[in-house]
Amino acid sequence: MSKIAFIAPASNQEIKKYGKSPLEHSIGGVAHLLDADTYFGDRCSNYKELEQYDYVFVNQATTMYQLTIDLRRNLPARVKIIAFADGAHQDLTRIPFVPDGILFIKALQVSDGFASIVEDAVGYYNLFTDKPCCFIGIPFPYEEVKRFQIPPQQKLQVKWVGINGQLTHVPARNSIGSLFLTKKAETVRILLCEPQKDKVMSFLNENNFLVEVHDSLGYTTFYEKYSQCYLGINLDPLGSWGRFSLDVAAMGIPVIGTFAQHTQKKLFPMLTFDPFLEVPKIIATYQRLFSDFKFYNECRDYALHIIETEFTNEKLISRWDNLRRLIDGT
C-alpha cells in the first residue's frame, strides 16, 4: 500500500498535517479516496516528515507553485511529487505572467506528474511539460446526495431555477447570463447565492426577477435548498470541474451549462453550449425543458445513469493507478 500526502493551500503557513479527510465533493474527497494524509500550508521547512511518503499531491494555486518546486528539489527522487490542478484551466492566462505564470510552468516541468480535473484539458497542460499529465477528477458522494432527490412531478406548481455563481464576487462565472436566461420562458422563481445581497437587490427588482438570495451555504444546506429546483443554470465559461452541475444533477435536476466544465459536458450533452456564442440554442433548449417533459426526463435520467456508472470511486482509483504507472514508468 503506497503512502500518500495531499497538501492543500493555506496562505503563508508552514505545512501542517491534519490527518485523514472525510468523503466530500471537494479536493478533500481525493485525499479521502487515496487514503492520503491531508496537510495544509504553502511552505515547508521540515522535509524529513514528507520523506515517509511515496506520493505527495500538491493542490495547485499561485501560492503553491514555489512549494511544488521546493518539494521536488529537497525530497529524494523516490518520493513522487504530483501537481493537482485546481481552479480553471484558463488560470495560466488569468494570473500575472511574471512571476506567477513562469512559476506555474516551472512547477509543471519539475513535478513528476500532473493531475487534471478536466479530461479535455490534459493536452493544454501537456504543452508545457514532458512529464505525465492525466485526468483524475474529484470523487462524488452520490449515496449521500441522492437522498435529496425529489420527483419532478412534485415541482410543477412553483418552478424554482437554481443559478450558479455570484454577481458581485465572481462575475467571471457569468451568473448574469444565467439570470437573464430565466426570463426566456414561463415565470420562474430564482435561487441565487449572493452574500452582498444589499448591493444587488435594487438591480434585481428593477429587472423584475423573482429571486431568493442566500448567503454562502454548507454542503447539506445547499442540497436541502437546491433540491426544490426544477432545473439549474450554470453558464460558466471558466473551464473547471463544474461542481454545481454535478451536485444538482445528482438530485435529479437537469442543468443547462457550458462545455468548458467537465461534469456538465459528461452529464448533459444535450444541454451543453458555448455561453456566449450559442445563446439562441440555449434559449430554445431552456424553453423545451418547460414544454417537453419527455425531453426533461431524458436529460435527467441520462445524467443519473452517468453518475452511477462513470463518477464512481472505482473509476477514479483506476485513473489514479494509470497516472501512477506513468509516473513510475511501469
**Out of 35, 52, 276, 297, which residue is the one contacting other proteins (CB under 8 A)?**
276
**Out of 11, 280, 309, 314, which residue is the one contacting other proteins (CB under 8 A)?**
280
* Distance (Å, whole) CA 176 – CA 197: 14
**Is the Cβ–Cβ distance between 87 and 242 less than 8 Å?**
no
Q: How many CA atoms lie within 13 A of 172 on its CB side?
A: 10
Task: Rank residues 227 and 264 by Cβ distance to other proteins and give the closer one.
Answer: 264
Question: 3-state class of 5 per DSSP?
Answer: strand
Which amino acid is located at 142 in the chain?
A: Y
Three cell numbers, residue 156: 410543477
By CB under 8 A, the count of residues binding other proteins is: 48
Residue 329 interacts with other proteins (CB under 8 A): yes or no: no
CA 290 to chain centre: 27
Residue pointed to by grid coordinates 437554481? 162
Three cell numbers, residue 218: 454548507
**Out of 11, 93, 157, 208, which residue is the one contacting other proteins (CB under 8 A)?**
93
Task: Rank residues 120 and 328 by Cβ distance to other proteins and give the closer one.
Answer: 120
Residue 216 interacts with other proteins (CB under 8 A): yes or no: no
Task: Rank residues 88 and 316 by Cβ distance to other proteins and give the closer one.
Answer: 88
Three cell numbers, residue 142: 452520490
Residue 174 interacts with other proteins (CB under 8 A): yes or no: yes
Residue 283 interacts with other proteins (CB under 8 A): yes or no: yes
Segment lying near other proteins (by CB under 8 A), choices 5-13, 65-73, 173-181, 243-251: 173-181
Q: What x/- string results for residues 13 through 52 when contact with other proteins is judged by CB under 8 A? A: ----------------------------------------
**Out of 10, 279, 306, 326, which residue is the one contacting other proteins (CB under 8 A)?**
279
Q: At what angle do helices 219-226 and 243-250 cross, to 10 degrees?
A: 60
State the pairing for strand pair 37-40/16-19: antiparallel
Residues 6+ apart with CB under 8 A from 319: 134, 135, 136, 137
Segment lying near other proteins (by CB under 8 A), choices 41-49, 99-107, 298-306, 311-319: 99-107
Segment lying near other proteins (by CB under 8 A), choices 31-39, 150-158, 175-183, 286-294: 175-183
Residue 85 interacts with other proteins (CB under 8 A): yes or no: no
How big is the CA angle at 138 (ends 171 and 94), to the nearest 5 degrees? 35
Question: 3-state class of 324 per DSSP?
Answer: helix
Task: Rank residues 34 and 118 by Cβ distance to other proteins and give the closer one.
Answer: 118
- Rounded (to 5) percent helix, strand, coil in the chain: 45, 15, 35
Task: Rank residues 102 and 156 by Cβ distance to other proteins and give the closer one.
Answer: 102
Residue 257 interacts with other proteins (CB under 8 A): yes or no: no
Residues 6+ apart with CB under 8 A from 114: 82, 83, 84, 85, 108, 125, 129, 131, 132, 133, 134
Segment lying near other proteins (by CB under 8 A), choices 70-78, 137-145, 167-175, 306-314: 167-175
Contact set with other proteins (CB under 8 A): 89-90, 92-98, 101-102, 105, 118, 120-121, 123-124, 126-128, 167-168, 171-174, 176-177, 180-181, 184, 199-200, 203, 207, 237, 239, 259-260, 274-280, 282-283
